[in-house]
């Protein structure tokens, strides 16, 4: 089950309502290195928000566990992206692109 579905299920379990609406998307980033850097910045920002609110969830063990698992998944993604950017800096863009094939 994906994260969105888990969060939606938890909101419904708590008696909340789900509102799904269209959002304007961002421009598609075609350069893979720019994409990685943009994604890393978004991940960093998102992790900061999650860290900030984890203590507030301790009174709700079910929600806390969902967020804890989500946080671990996001941290893994963050470290992977960070590692890829470090690798690009060490071996260069062309070698990194070749290694992705």
18 within domain boundaries: no
pLDDT surpasses 70 at 13: yes
- Record the pTM: 0.83
101 within domain boundaries: no
- Strand, coil or helix: what is 27? coil
Query: DSSP character for 56?
Result: G
46 within domain boundaries: yes
Structural domains of the chain, count: 1
Instruction: Give residue-wise pLDDT tens across range 29-72.
Output: 999 999 999 999 999 999 999 999 999 999 999 999 999 999 99
* Alpha helices for the chain (secondary structure H): 3-13, 32-54, 61-91, 93-99
Q: Which domain holds residue 73?
A: 29-94
83 within domain boundaries: yes
pLDDT surpasses 80 at 26: no
59 within domain boundaries: yes
pLDDT surpasses 70 at 1: no
* Mean pLDDT calculated for residue range 76-95: 96
């Amino acid at each position: 089950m994906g994260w969105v579905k888990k969060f939606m299920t938890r909101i419904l379990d708590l008696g909340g309502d789900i509102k799904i609406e269209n959002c304007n998307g961002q421009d598609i980033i075609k350069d893979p290195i720019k994409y990685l850097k943009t994604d890393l910045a978004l991940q960093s920002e998102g992790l900061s928000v999650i860290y900030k609110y984890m203590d507030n969830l301790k009174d709700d063990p079910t929600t806390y566990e969902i967020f804890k698992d989500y946080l671990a998944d996001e941290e893994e993604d963050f470290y992977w992206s960070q590692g890829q950017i470090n690798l690009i800096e060490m071996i260069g863009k062309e070698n990194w692109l070749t290694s992705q094939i």
